[in-house]
Amino acid sequence: MNTIDRLRLPLALAALASAVVAALVAGLATEGFSHLRHPLAVLGAQQLEWRGSLFGLFGFVVPGLVGAWLALDLRRRLPQGSGWPARIGAQLLLLAALAFAAQSVLPLDLESLDGGIGRYHATAWLLWALAFPLGGLLLAGGLWHAPGWRGFALASLVAAIVVVACGFLGSGWIGAALAQRIAFFAWLAWGVLAATAPVPPLSRGAA
């Protein structure tokens, strides 16, 4: 097992823990904030200054950059014969991860939610919410018949469906704040599964 193989799972778990701990700590430190009513982006808003930047670093940037690395590594490990759907899917997963990180670089403006930089924050979220499900669906289709990969393909399909359901439909069922958290957790959990996805024998030999 080389260094990349050893780091893959710890980094994925660290990304998940970073997002969860950042949300819990920042939520407790922000007066009036409720995880049942407010989106996580509020914790990284411009108006919170250094506290918002700190949350953005650990809540969005760290998970996003780790997710981007996992997507690149996954593309490298795709089995021969998975075809263009899986490879395009991996590229979309990379785009989704970078868009997730961009939510910190383009923080929410509580005084102008529909204008200025707040509009770009919403665009970054939308890009993540569209690119990840589409990438997951393509990846699942490309890996469905690959030996040893069907379990991960199914997990990618489920994660894609959860993100679509919670990102665009769930607010009417369980509330927008909780739906967003479930969507984020589904993506982070998918990253952990991606870190443990099979390593084809050819990839091991080439490493």
Cα–Cα distance for residue pair 60/102, rounded to 1 Å = 8
Contact yes or no for 111/97 (Cβ under 8 A)? no
> What does the block give as tokens for 197?
């996805």
Cα–Cα distance for residue pair 84/87, rounded to 1 Å = 5
Cα–Cα distance for residue pair 81/143, rounded to 1 Å = 9
Sequential pLDDT tens for the chain (207 residues) = 677 788 999 999 999 999 999 999 999 999 999 999 999 999 999 889 899 999 999 999 999 999 999 999 999 999 988 889 999 999 999 999 999 999 999 998 888 766 667 789 999 999 999 999 999 999 999 999 999 999 999 999 999 999 999 988 877 778 889 999 999 999 999 999 999 987 555 444 443
116 Cβ partners below 8 Å, 6+ apart? 109
Cα–Cα distance for residue pair 140/144, rounded to 1 Å = 6
